[in-house]
Structure 1
Amino acid sequence: MKKWIWSSIIILVLCLILGNLYLLKKYDADLYFVSKVDAFHQPVEGDIRISHFKKGVVTAQEESVISYQPQLGVIEEILVKEGDFVQVGTPLVQYSTTQSEGLIQQLESKIERAQAEERKLSKDISALKSISYPTVFESEWEEAQAEANEILIDSQIRELELKEELLEIDIEDYELQLESIENEADAQTILSTTDGIVKSINKNGKDELITIITYPYVIKGELSEQELQSIQVGQKVYISKGKQPLIGTISDISQFPVNSPSLHEETSYFPFTINVEEVEDQEQLLFGHHIGVEVVQQESFATLLLPEHSVLRNRSEYSAFVMEKGKVKEVELQLGIESKGRIEILDGISMDDIVVGAPDKLIKADTPFIMPVKKLIVKSSQLEDVNKKEATTTILRAMIAN
């Protein structure tokens, strides 16, 4: 190769080096310590929680059994069928009341006759009391006769009043007997003592005539030995069912495992029970259905949240870069709950701050920042107002950032 070519190359390289050194010296204040920001976002307000996800099954906490009661007589009718929803006071079984009905009719007839006789006596007494006596007599004999009649009528009135009192006693006695028999007849109708659903009816059974699954339902599941260390009675539970999750509470954790302890098993599992808060729609919890539950460990509502990649960690200290007045500024953070790629921010930033997303190690605090822009087609007419200094500075910043 000819010497002049080599000389030209060397001179060109030297010119480039000297030119860059000149530009670096001239625009030093504008070129050093520029941080590149690829993404940013603002904190959002939301809910966050740490949970254990478990599976459960909808079941009854207990069953109510209605047994046959031979002392009440023969079963006349079973008033419910399998699958019926019953409440406290719902009639379930009707025993025969034929004998009671006959006694009730007899007593009602006696009461009616006694009341009719009582009304007749009352009229007779009123009639006797309405009799008037003369006050002037023509002879002593007439006066004596009048006195004798008055004594006789008074005697008749007292006799009728005594009969009336005896009838009132009889009527009261009949009514007490009637009330007692009616109560016995009512006792021959067996009523439900609980809310629930009729599970089974055994018409030929003696011990278990009707079985009722008590309501409200509960959810039962199993916890491993490891899960027992972080889950306790009283913890809140979200139940995944429908658009709106139901809320419940762990009401019981058994001290005894499901199966007998064995060295051949890696772990033991312990039954737990969840009580569900009031359910408006019974279709949300169907007996026997499997369901997902979320046992809450920690929970915060309406709190500031950031993506975890926006938070810098240095041992026990946490910080983030915020964009403020053309520079990036590092602020210390106080963190709360961390879950599913989000972190609760207790202190350090506000909703109005703009936070650098996924900052790299090249970002420095209190330095200007640049951001990548979308690819644009720039027309020559748009560059007419840009001077050489601004153009050179922009090009060099882009070269350094990339």
Structure 2
Amino acid sequence: MKKWKIGTLAVLAMGIIALNLFLIEKKDSKVARTLSAGEWTKVKKANIIERFETDAVIKPLEEYNYYFNDQDKEFQKFLVKEGDVVTTGAPLFEYITPKLDQVKDELETEKSRYEGEIAGVEEYIDELSSYQDTIPDAPTAKEREAAKEAGFLLNDSDSSAMIISSIRQEIYKQELEKKKLEEKIRAYESQLNYLDEHGDTAMTASETEGIVKYVNKQLESPIVTIASNTLAIEGSLNEQQARKAEPGMKIIAKHPNEKKKINGTISAIQPFPETEPTVGSPSKYAFQATMQEEPESIMIGSKVRLSVVTAEAKGVLSLPKTAIQLEKKPSVYRLNGNGTITKQVITTGLEFAGIQEVKDGLELGNIILRDSKSIPYNKPTFITPLQTEKVRNSAFNELSKRQKLRFFLIGLLEK
């Protein structure tokens, strides 16, 4: 009799267990189930900056080569030597020619041409400044498109501040161009004044401030080379980096002996490799970047570590990439205030270093399950582990009166 009862109870127990297992595993089952949510994260605002790093060196921005054409001209003497510091308009070498009037006319013509170019650059700078003043706090899609057509490197997520920053960079480039043109004009004025003072002797003047790097006393071209005082950052990119980088992108350089970082932009990337391409050898592409402000103590030849910013999204909603299920449509598991978990489809944007931009589908402060692969079913309830290290009087005192009352009522009603 006892054996019969024991057998019956065993069969019933096994049946109950089997029924529960069936209900638990059944698709869309209504059986209440609870999940232990051990790790979670919040939707936060972040600055996501995609970048890569490379080594670079400080060099003169430009080298100016000067030539001497001995046709109808007779070389007289050099007026500078290697290592001399020269200013714009400084005489480099003298020559005599029977065609001084022709030389003077050519100098006047070139001076007038560059004055016209300066007027065009100034007009463009004024247009950029006026456009900058009209940009609203939240630019429209049409305004973004107009900025792109003007040559600015922008993404759809770029804010007004980033658009204004791009315009300022363009203004800076145009001001540099204007400075170069003004230096050329000063060089021509210096040569014209020299003709007026010396009568039968002409000279070639420096078009920049810098250091005389080379003087060829055999009069082989170029006979004088001047390195400009304006510095630049130069280096090489591998194939992958060269595909990502574009002129106009921001750079951040760090020198071991400089506390302050050097900001600037890429000004040029050579489309051809530095050396003849061969099978089995990686290709390198030379680039040059300009600096917004040159550190006073940095020297030509100094080595720097360079970060190239290829994309950025500032002040955007973000999550760790591990919290997102990357299926046909990216989704996350959101922990709700009523103790349930909901699968939420989201729209993602820029991702870098494990941080993913969230464009749509979530709000700031939403609580998301960190391990996106731990949910075997939809809309379960959840519990979280007690964090005993936070159970202390100071933590209770940090709560507001409203929070204390809320938690008290929750505990009372749960009973």
Deviation track 1:220-256 (CA, whole Å, cap 9, x = no partner) reads 333444555x24643514132253341212523233x
Give the match for residue 33 of structure 1.
Answer: 33
Give the match for residue 346 of structure 1.
Answer: 359
Give the match for residue 385 of structure 2.
Answer: 372
Aligned residues: 269
Deviation track 1:145-178 (CA, whole Å, cap 9, x = no partner) reads xxxxxxxxxxxxxxxxxxxxxxxxxxxxxxxxxx
Give the match for residue 337 of structure 1.
Answer: 350
- Secondary structure of 1:305's match? strand
**Change in CA separation of 1:358 and 1:73 when aligned onto 2, cut-off 3 Å:** same
Instruction: Quote the Cα distance in structure 2 between the aligned partners of 1:336 and 1:180.
Output: 62
Q: Which of the two has higher C-alpha Rg?
A: 1
- Secondary structure of 2:261's match? coil
Give the match for residue 307 of structure 1.
Answer: 320
1:252 aligns to 2:272 (yes or no)? no
User: Contact 1:72 / 1:188 at 8 angstroms: preserved in 2?
Assistant: no
1:322 aligns to 2:339 (yes or no)? no
Instruction: Quote the Cα distance in structure 2 between the aligned partners of 1:62 and 1:276.
Output: 11
1:213 aligns to 2:214 (yes or no)? no
1:169-208 equivalent positions in 2, closer than 5 A = 183-184=197-198, 191-199=205-213
User: Contact 2:262 / 2:294 at 8 angstroms: preserved in 1?
Assistant: no
Question: Aligned-pair distance for 1:39?
Answer: 2.1
Question: Aligned-pair distance for 1:42?
Answer: 1.9
Give the match for residue 83 of structure 2.
Answer: 82
Give the match for residue 114 of structure 2.
Answer: none
Deviation track 1:171-204 (CA, whole Å, cap 9, x = no partner) reads xxxxxxxx998622897787531133443568x6
1:119-198 equivalent positions in 2, closer than 5 A = 183-184=197-198, 191-198=205-212
1:269 aligns to 2:286 (yes or no)? no
Instruction: Quote the Cα distance in structure 2 between the aligned partners of 1:180 and 1:215.
Output: 24
1:107-122 equivalent positions in 2, closer than 5 A = none
Q: CA RMSD in A?
A: 4.6
Instruction: Quote the Cα distance in structure 1 between the aligned partners of 2:229 and 2:194.
Output: 34
Counterpart code for 2:322: H
- Secondary structure of 2:330's match? strand
Deviation track 1:289-324 (CA, whole Å, cap 9, x = no partner) reads 33333344432222112111111222x211112222
User: Contact 2:251 / 2:263 at 8 angstroms: preserved in 1?
Assistant: yes
Greater shift in the superposed pair: 324-333 or 186-195: 186-195
Instruction: Quote the Cα distance in structure 2 between the aligned partners of 1:281 and 1:51.
Output: 23
Counterpart code for 1:252: I
Question: Aligned-pair distance for 1:213?
Answer: 1.0
Question: Aligned-pair distance for 1:205?
Answer: 6.6
**Change in CA separation of 1:33 and 1:200 when aligned onto 2, cut-off 3 Å:** same
Instruction: Quote the Cα distance in structure 1 between the aligned partners of 2:200 and 2:231.
Output: 31
**Change in CA separation of 1:363 and 1:183 when aligned onto 2, cut-off 3 Å:** farther
Question: Aligned-pair distance for 1:337?
Answer: 1.4
Give the match for residue 149 of structure 2.
Answer: none
- Secondary structure of 2:318's match? strand
Instruction: Quote the Cα distance in structure 1 between the aligned partners of 2:357 and 2:201.
Output: 63
- Secondary structure of 2:381's match? strand
1:42 aligns to 2:54 (yes or no)? no
Give the match for residue 172 of structure 1.
Answer: none
Instruction: Quote the Cα distance in structure 2 between the aligned partners of 1:260 and 1:210.
Output: 29
Counterpart code for 1:317: K
**Change in CA separation of 1:327 and 1:239 when aligned onto 2, cut-off 3 Å:** same
Give the match for residue 140 of structure 1.
Answer: none
User: Contact 1:36 / 1:363 at 8 angstroms: preserved in 2?
Assistant: no
Instruction: Quote the Cα distance in structure 1 between the aligned partners of 2:282 and 2:42.
Output: 46
User: Contact 2:60 / 2:230 at 8 angstroms: preserved in 1?
Assistant: yes
**Change in CA separation of 1:364 and 1:294 when aligned onto 2, cut-off 3 Å:** same
Counterpart code for 1:333: I
**Change in CA separation of 1:181 and 1:309 when aligned onto 2, cut-off 3 Å:** closer
Query: Quick one: percent identity of the two aligned structures?
Result: 18
TM-score (norm 1): 0.53
Question: Aligned-pair distance for 1:280?
Answer: 4.2
Deviation track 1:37-69 (CA, whole Å, cap 9, x = no partner) reads 112222222222333433333333542246799
User: Contact 1:222 / 1:269 at 8 angstroms: preserved in 2?
Assistant: no
- Secondary structure of 2:371's match? coil
Give the match for residue 113 of structure 1.
Answer: none
> Any stretches of 5+ residues in structure 2 without a counterpart?
25-30, 95-192, 392-410
Instruction: Quote the Cα distance in structure 2 between the aligned partners of 1:180 and 1:193.
Output: 15
Instruction: Quote the Cα distance in structure 2 between the aligned partners of 1:376 and 1:184.
Output: 90
Instruction: Quote the Cα distance in structure 2 between the aligned partners of 1:39 and 1:82.
Output: 65
**Change in CA separation of 1:197 and 1:332 when aligned onto 2, cut-off 3 Å:** farther
**Change in CA separation of 1:364 and 1:62 when aligned onto 2, cut-off 3 Å:** same
Question: Aligned-pair distance for 1:82?
Answer: 2.8
Give the match for residue 279 of structure 1.
Answer: 293
Off by >6 Å, runs of 4+ in structure 1:
67-70, 185-190
Question: Aligned-pair distance for 1:353?
Answer: 1.3
